[in-house]
Amino acid sequence: MLGFAACSKSPQTDKLVITGSSTIAPLMAEIGKRFEQTHPGVRVDVQTGGSSRGIADARQGVADIGMASRALKEDENDLYAFAIAQDGICIILHQENPIANLSDEQVVAIYTGKINNWKDAGGNDAPITVVNKAEGRSTLELFLHYFKLKNTDIKADVIIGDNQQGIKTVAGNPDAIGYVSIGSAEYDATHGVPIKLLPIGGVAASIENVKNGAFPLSRPLNLVTKTAPEGLAKQLIEFAQSESVHDIIREQYFVPIAR
Amino acid sequence: MSPSRVDQIFVWLLRGLAALAGSVLVLIVMFLIIESIPALQHVGFARFFTDSSWHPAAKAAEGFYNLVPMLAGTLFAMAGSVLLATPLGILSALFCHYYAPPIIARQYRRVIELLAGIPSVVYGFWGLVVLVPLLRHIEPSGLSLLAGIIILTIMILPTVALMADAAMANVPQHYLQGAAALGLSRWAILRGVVFPASKAGLFTGVILATGRAIGETMAILMVCGNIVQTPKNLFEPIRTLTANIALEMAYALGDHRTALFFSGVLLMAMIIALVGLAEHLVKGKIYG
């Protein structure tokens, strides 16, 4: 009975539904929790389903806010996008690997199996262990998109799930090549894990370069709404863009946006 | 209340609890089947075995859904580890029971129990940082079926050893005394008396271990390389069905997701078939 009363009494926006990108969802869930703490009676409901669902749900009004881990496309200009963080991915090698630089063409050749020994890329005479991400990961999508590859073209020796598994695999194998989120790679590399981050397109892989937009392999994490946000949705978006959630963003290895 | 009435209440209570335990299994299987029906409708049963590869997509027409390499991976990893762990486990129990001095036996048993309690992700982590780099010296990249078999063997060994140990402890003392009085050697007693008398327990241990080997996910995910392929030798990477579900479920949509549920049904069917086969092999006599 109490539940019924509460429901019928306040049908306004006490509940915010947020759907979309599985990259942003864990981050938004944490931000939502903190938002709930400072706004008693508010519930933030975060559901995943991919960036396309986030866009579609926001447009149809199924969700109050959509999540899209990419920039809006041209035909999506009717929507409002609010970037809450940046995500970048970088190529990592073992520290002992003498290679300091790989061109985009070399990376493509390695991942498609055209080069399978490091000596063909200017390194030691050793077979390359290619580390790829499992199907459906957004890191994989961004990687494929940047290097204009299809996942079926990739000849991998190891397939991994999350960033940590990728870093441990490369750290344990001097002949491995992998790609992971820059945030986690930079943290581990500066904390004694024997990996190194390769530059892409001549730009050093660092959180700094993601932040200032110089690093090519990066993308914005966007919150999307159909109309100019107001009320609770506006409060939540402003909260997600504020400095008070930067610690959560860093914890999840994303890059807060400088203002 | 008369004693018979108390008995009746107790019996019905036990029946209720047994029904509850049974219905949990039925509910899980039903849930799996219901969730995988869309996959069977859109992808179809045959394509899970005849498609050219495993490159699933949210829409059935755009993806490839061959589960055979992963089925093979699961079976090879399971068979290899059970073949290794069964003799080792039984030998370990024999040592503990009939050869080791009591003090050592007690300590040894404690170590085995501890081994059984280590979380699988710890085994996986150990495998990734110690075992895989060792194997890499034999054949790059080290992440392979062999690594999976070794890790699984270490994981299921305690199950076999502890069950065998318990089974041997249940062999009646007068059997042993009788055999010893006949002047049989220790090995003859073990072979002629202990093994037949503890057969049921040994067998149960192997079945439990096999189940654990099929179901193990985390450790396998970390050391097997997860390439979807039917391995040609021990040094090639594999992906098991459980690892596949763990890797992809959180990111799967539409038909990809339901296909993963279908692979869950296959796993369930494998385990049921295994238990059924085991029961058939001993024709129910073993527990009698």
pLDDT digits (tens, 9 = 90+) for B219-249: 999 999 999 999 999 999 999 999 999 888 8
Q: Look at residue B225 and give its three-state secondary structure.
A: strand
pLDDT band at B65 (very low <50, low <70, confident <90, very high): very high
Residue A144: predicted pLDDT: 92
Q: How confident is the model at residue A1 (pLDDT cuts 50, 70, 90)?
A: very low
Q: Phi and psi at residue A100, in whole multiples of 5°?
A: -115, -10
User: A170 to each of A72, A99, B65, B141, B162, how far by Cα in Å?
Assistant: 34, 14, 29, 10, 37
The ipTM, to two decimals, is 0.75
Q: How far apart are CA B1 and CA B6, in angstroms?
A: 7
Segment B90-114 mean pLDDT: 91
| pLDDT recorded at residue B35 | 92
* Site from B220, B251, B263 to mutate, A interface, most A CB atoms within 10 angstroms: B251
Which pLDDT score is estimated for A105? 93
A157/B141 touch (CB, cutoff 8 Å), yes or no: yes
Of B128, B133, B237, which is closest to A157 when you measure between CB atoms?
A: B237
How close, in Å, is residue A160 to chain B by CA atoms? 7
- Determine the residue of chain A that is closest to B254 in CA distance: A49
**pLDDT category of residue B144 using cuts at 50, 70 and 90:** very high
The H or E element containing residue A133 is strand A129-133
Per-residue pLDDT band at A259 (split at 50, 70, 90): low
Percent of chain A at pLDDT above 90? 44
Residue spans of the domains in chain B: they are 64-282
pLDDT digit string, tens, across residues A28-74? 999 999 999 988 889 999 987 777 778 888 988 889 999 988 888 88
User: What is the mean pLDDT of the segment spanning B70-85?
Assistant: 95
- What pLDDT, on a 0 to 100 scale, did the predictor assign at position B60? 84
Q: Which residues touch B13 (CB under 8 Å, ≥6 apart)? A: none
Q: Using pLDDT thresholds of 50, 70 and 90, give the confidence band for residue A122.
A: confident
Chain B residues whose C-beta is within 8 A of a chain A C-beta are 53, 55-56, 128-129, 132-133, 136, 140-143, 221-222, 225-228, 237, 239, 246-248, 250-253, 256
Nearest to A136 among B129, B133, B251 (CB): B251
Q: Which CATH code for domain B64-282? A: 1.10.3720.10
Q: B147 vs chain A: nearest CA distance in angstroms?
A: 13
User: Residue B144's closest chain A neighbor by CA?
Assistant: A158
pLDDT at B76: 95
> What would the pLDDT profile of A74-106 be if each residue is shown by its tens digit?
888 889 999 999 888 899 999 999 999 999 999
What Å distances lie between residue A178 and A92, A113, B136, CA to CA?
A: 5, 14, 17
Nearest C-alpha in B relative to A164: B222
Please name the member of B55, B225, B252 whose beta carbon is closest to the beta carbon of A159: B225
Residue A7, pLDDT score: 41
pLDDT at B288: 43
| Binding-site residues on chain A for chain B (CB distance < 8 A) | 22, 48-50, 53, 126-127, 129, 134-137, 151-152, 156-161, 165, 168-169, 172-173, 175-176
CA-based nearest distance B142→chain A, Å: 9
Residue B54 scores a pLDDT above 70: yes
Q: Which residues are registered as beta bridge partners of A17?
A: A45
Between chain A and chain B, the number of residue pairs with CB atoms below 8 A apart is 73
Confidence of residue B280 (pLDDT cuts 50, 70, 90): confident
Could you tell me the pLDDT band of residue B142, with boundaries at 50, 70 and 90? confident
B132 closest CB neighbour out of A50, A160, A172: A172
Per-residue confidence (pLDDT) for residue A142, from 0 to 100: 85
pLDDT score recorded for residue B203: 87
The answer to whether B260 and B32 have CB atoms below 8 angstroms apart is: no
Residue A239 has pLDDT above 90, yes or no: yes
